[in-house]
Each structure stands twice: as structure tokens, then as C-alpha cells.
Homo-oligomer: A and B are copies of this chain.
Amino acid sequence: MAKSGPAPTINDVARIAGVSKKTVSRVINRSPLLKQATREKVEKVIAELGYTPNPQARALALRRNFLLGLLHDNPNAQTVLNFQEGVLDAIRDTEFALVVRPVDRHSPAMLDDIRNFLELQRLYGVLILPPISENDELAALCREMGCGYVRMGSAALDEAEHLVQSNDREMVEAVVDYLVELGHERIGLIEGPAGFRSAFERREGFLAAMKRHGLDMPSEALVQGNYRFNSGVEAAHQLLSENPHVTAIFASNDEMAAGAYHAARERGVDVPTDLSLVGFDDSPIAAHIWPPMTTVGWPIREMAKAAALKLVAPDTAEAQPSNFPARLVTRNSVAPPAKKI
């Protein structure tokens, strides 16, 4: 182990091992043209000294920092935090660190801000969460600035090396199948906001499944929210007012689904007896609300880890999957329909 005092530098290692700095540098960077004996000798000294290359010096020389950035404007705190944990799973015990950078999608200066940020911090790469990950200009900016990037999304937004994706469309189809199997025929949809690819995918999956089952989908049974709780309350009220025969509602995320619970209570509609509700995300609120909510869960943490590995270990990047399966989490917010028309 290292003694206390100033940390050993590459010079110390070189001197003690009796080789040049460059040779030590080659060992660190796994240069292939090194004699095995030399490598082992140097590695022994490195271990004895507890030497770790100084990231600041490397950053200066390489013009590139050992920092991964997390760009996000996701409204779901748990999603963001799970993602952070996943990234840290990937970079634990490496010299990398994770810097976070919330962005404001609505600011006209957003791209310029990010440009400055990337230029200043010289990040090794960035991980981009939805919905901002759907912005192609942002991806182009990363490419232009020579900054690695991986986007997380609910559709094939980019090439495999720049993407980890969940298949939202398929999952929502599965949700509808499940509801239909239980006997539901009049199902409402609270969709997410325009401009969110996830909202688009989820709606398309819903509509496709309804059509496949030959089920009627009147336009009043589709109401738009903005992914926030309150919009779910309002959307559910509107949907239930215009469409009293609906026996189930799928909301495009858990927060809006929780809003729908809220509206149902205000109207004296019992969940799930009078109305089945399904959300999307499997966020904590789904488990904590009453009755516990049936929803769709996706493996954020694993996706985050894979995304980070694509950036920091490009050699194994090929081995990292880009597609991640979601799963239906059945709890108690769904029951066979009781209502008769």
C-alpha cells in the first residue's frame, strides 16, 4: 500500500523499476509492444507503491477528461437516480467519475450551454436520458465535438453503439393484450406529451393492439397529459366524463396513472372494481399507492451500466446489448370488468 505523504508519480515508478517514464506509461496504457518481463517488473513496482496515474495530468495530456456526463431533463427522480447508480456500477474502481448536468429542454440556449459545457469539461463521453435523448441535434453536437455519447430511448434512435433502448411499443401491446384477456373492451388511453418519443411509441403500441383485437377506439377515449401527476388527474376526469363506459385506462407513465387514481377517488369510482388502471415505469409510487399499481418495469440500472460500458470499454461495447426487455409488473389495480353497458 501507499505510504502517506505525496502520492507516487510515474517518475517514482520509473526510477525504482529502473526504466523510463515512457515504459511505465506503456504499461499503464497496455501497449502491446512490451516485453513480458519488463511489464511484470513495472507492474510489481506499481503494486508496491500503490501508484495510480493522476487523472488530471492525463486529462491535460490527452485533452480529454476521465469524466462521464449525465445529461437529463427527466421528470422522474427515481429514474434518474437509478440510472446514476447503474453508471456507477460500471465505473466503480476505475478512474472515471460521473458528473451530472440537468438541462432545460425549453431554453433556446440549451445547445449552446451544452456546447460550452462539453468544451470546458472535455468529457470523455455523455449519457443522455429521455426525453432529451430524442434530440438529434444534441447527438450531432456530441459527434461534432468529438465527445462520446450513448442515448437511452424507447425506440431505435441511433446506431447500436450509441444506444440503449427499451421496446415500449411491444410492452404496451402486451398491456392491452392482458387487459383484453381479462375481458376489457372499452379501454381508455392517457398519452404523454407531444414531442416525447416514448409517448409516441406507447400510443402507437396501444392503438395497434386495440386494432389487432378489433376493438373500438373512439377519439374521446384518448386524452393527452404531460407526464405529470396533475395532468393525469385532469385527463382521467375528462376521459371518464366523456366516456363513462370505459372499464380500464392505460396511462403512459405511473405519475399520470397515479393522477388517474386520484380522479377516480374524487368521482367515487373504485379501483380496480369499477376501473382498472395500468401505468408505465414501475416507479416507487406504483408500489406505494393504494391499491398497488400494475405497471410496466424496465431495467434502468442495467441499461445505464451497459450504456456506460459502451463509452468506457469500447472493446467490450459490441458485447453490450442495446435492447432491453421490459416486463409487466402485475399488482392490484387491474380486475376483470364489472360494468355492464
**Which A residues form the contact surface with B (CB < 8 A)?**
7, 52, 54-57, 59-60, 63, 65, 67, 77-78, 80-81, 84-85, 88, 95, 97-102, 117, 119-122, 229, 255, 258-259, 261-262, 265, 284-285, 287-290
Contacts and interface: CB of A to CB of B under 8 A. Distances in A.
Given A56-B56, A120-B52, A102 B80 contact: no
Given A78-B77, A287-B229, A290-B262, A121 B97 contact: yes
Nearest to A81: B77
Taking the full assembly, how many copies of this chain does it contain?
2
B84 A102 contact: yes
Contacts of A54: 60
A85 B229 CA distance: 20
Nearest to A88: B102
Given A59-B60, A97-B117, 9 more contacts: A77-B81, A88-B101, A99-B100, A100-B100, A229-B288, A255-B288, A259-B288, A262-B290, A288-B289
A84 B100 contact: yes
- Give the interface SS of chain A, mostly helix, strand, loop or mixed: helix
5 contacts: A59-B59, A77-B78, A77-B284, A229-B288, A284-B285
The 4 A-B pairs with the shortest beta carbon distances in the complex, nearest first, are A56-B59, A77-B77, A77-B81, A77-B78
Contact of A288 (B57, B98, B99, B285): B285
A289 B287 contact: no
